[in-house]
Amino acid sequence: MDICVEKCINEKKVLETIKTIPQPEIISSMADIFKALSDPTRLKIVLALLKQEHCVCDIAVICNQTDSATSHQLRILRTQKIVRNRRDGKIMYYTIDDDHVAALINMSLTHVQH
């Protein structure tokens, strides 16, 4: 019944499932969020900002990276609306943009700890 007969497709089940899957653009956007969090350095930035607001140079120190590399990473996180920045004179302060992020991070932490 559920065995792949002819061409190895169980058409009914496949169509049933396809109906429930979001549009490609939605899937792509979701993947982009996960991609933004998939780099250890970027994840460390997010974890740091979950504690408190920081400027770029402080984030660079926390991540043991150059300011330039840090700035590149922050741009990716900004694009995905994961972090937000505000300028105070020469200093640019970064914060977590919304609280879905904290929920995502906590969920993955729970998953890692079995």
Compare residues 34 and 69 and give the one whose CB is closer to its own copies. Answer: 34
Report the nearest approach of DNA to the CB of residue 81 (Å).
15
Whether residue 38 contacts residue 56, with contact meaning beta carbons closer than 8 Å, is answered with no
Whether residue 64 contacts residue 79, with contact meaning beta carbons closer than 8 Å, is answered with no
Q: By rule CB under 7 A, what count of residues binds DNA?
A: 28
Report the nearest approach of its own copies to the CB of residue 65 (Å).
13
DSSP character string of 24-59: HHHHHHHHHHHHHTSSHHHHHHHHHHHH--EEHHHH
Instruction: Give the x/- contact pattern for DNA in 20-59, rule: CB under 7 A.
Output: ---------------x--xx-xx------------xxx--
